[in-house]
Structure 1
Amino acid sequence: MIKAVFFDLDGTVLDTNELILQSFRHAFRERLNITVPDETILTFFGEPLHYSMSKYSDDVEPLLETYREFNWKHHDSMVEPFHGTIEALRELKEMGLYLGIITSKRRNVAMKGIDLFDLAKYFDVIVTPEDTEEHKPKAGPLLKACELLGIEDPSTTMMVGDSTYDILCGKNANASTVAVRYSKISLDILKSVSPDFLVDSLLEIPGIVKGSDNKNKG
């Protein structure tokens, strides 16, 4: 029986794709005077920002500073929930489930997006990189969310995300996994890590949870 559903934030709950792309472009251009193809930048989605930047410079702090300044400045005008997000979260809460966010984004920026659309009321736990030594794709963030909720068996949880890092985090913790087809990461790459489910919308999640519960009862 599924007790909790955990979501990645960027690219899963909130459409931040264009903001992230433009933030990377700006940082690489301003600090390194280079243009990195969007196809390459898309492969960074789901990674800790520090790790992505370290591929291009041994001194990542200036890159991080420039990225974050641009991202913060343009955040509110370039972010919105994906279609069906709020309706899905509301239905899942009505089903009595715990809900959580597990993100690679720093807490202050993650909360900026969550608060912008009054989403905090749906989430019982929000795990950011400041909370764990391990980060996605390792199991640590999901295990931390379980710890905070008092869930002893991670197999009673579900991880929903748009990147291989999200799916592997769930798998490494023995949780069920759901990948969203609207990810900017290619479907073939997502399928390569064998998510348990693929969905076109978060509106499908309540049905998957009900189906999993009925299967377990049977």
Structure 2
Amino acid sequence: MINTVLFDVDGTIIDTEFVMIKSFQKTLLEEKKLNVPDENLEYILGIPGKKAVERYASSEEEIDKIHSIWADNVKLYTYHASLFPDLEEILTQLKAKGVQVGIVTSKTSEEMKNEFDHFGLNDYFDVCVTASDTKKHKPNAEPILYALRKLGGLPEESIYVGDSIYDMHSSQSAGAKFALAKWGAKENTLFSSADITLESPLEILDYL
């Protein structure tokens, strides 16, 4: 029986693809004089920000600097982010059914405050695990296991909804079922290993 549903944020709850890519483009142009096309930056979606920056930095100091500037640039584009259709409805229904609902994201706590809080969804979630809360990050299992410990939940009774390969590996390594959020995911043959494929958020109800 499934009694816990955990969600990724970017590409799963909110559509931030334009925000993240355009803000990173701006950062790379300003800091590295690089004009990188959109398709070459799709790799940044669904992974921790500092991990994304590594490709364009040669030291830890430079990673921190570029990541900090990128975080500031994200704020210039956040008004382009939007909630995916039916997300608030499914959160309402999950809570009404007594399901534990949580977030496990690669965003830091500060990024969540700047980029997510204004959607007004925080009260739906019983736990929110960010990159600031664990030493290891997706695709490692630790963030999901940390969330389940906080909730008193069991992996085999849980679903993690996400849009990236990192999400899938993290979920399955933790022993939870991975549900692919097709509404935010890029095509990838590796997703054939997903436990569940969701065309729309409301389909989650079919697996409770």
TM-score by length of 2: 0.93
Asked if structure 1 preserves the Cα contact closer than 8 Å seen for 2:75 and 2:115, the reply is no
Shift of 1:189: 4.3
Shift of 1:54: 1.1
Worse-matched range after superposition: 126-135 or 200-209: 200-209
How many Å separate the matches in 1 of 2:37 and 2:183? 20
What is the 5 A alignment of 1:176-215? 176-191=177-192, 194-209=193-208
Asked if structure 1 preserves the Cα contact closer than 8 Å seen for 2:2 and 2:207, the reply is no
- The alignment yields a C-alpha RMSD, in angstroms, of 1.4
How many Å separate the matches in 1 of 2:160 and 2:185? 18
What is the 5 A alignment of 1:2-81? 2-58=2-58, 59-75=62-78, 77-81=79-83
> Residue 163 of structure 1 aligns with which residue?
164
1:77-115 CA-to-partner distances (Å, cap 9, x unmatched) read: 111110010001111111110000000001122133432
Shift of 1:37: 2.8
What runs of 5+ residues in structure 2 fail to find an aligned partner? none
1:132-172 CA-to-partner distances (Å, cap 9, x unmatched) read: 11100110000000111122x21111100010111111100
Asked if structure 2 preserves the Cα contact closer than 8 Å seen for 1:2 and 1:158, the reply is yes
Number of residue pairs the alignment of both structures matches: 205
Asked if structure 2 preserves the Cα contact closer than 8 Å seen for 1:72 and 1:109, the reply is no
Q: Percent identity?
A: 32
Asked if structure 1 preserves the Cα contact closer than 8 Å seen for 2:43 and 2:52, the reply is no
What is the SS of the residue equivalent to 2:44?
A: coil
How many Å separate the matches in 2 of 1:86 and 1:139? 27
Distance 1:68 1:98, change over 3 A: same
**Equivalent position amino acid for 2:36 in 1:** V
How many Å separate the matches in 2 of 1:175 and 1:96? 19
**Equivalent position amino acid for 2:35 in 1:** T
What runs of 5+ residues in structure 1 fail to find an aligned partner? 210-218
> Residue 101 of structure 2 aligns with which residue?
99
> Residue 212 of structure 1 aligns with which residue?
none
What is the SS of the residue equivalent to 1:43?
A: helix
What is the 5 A alignment of 1:110-189? 110-151=112-153, 153-189=154-190
Following TM superposition, the consecutive aligned residue runs of length 4 or more in structure 1 with deviations greater than 6 angstroms are none
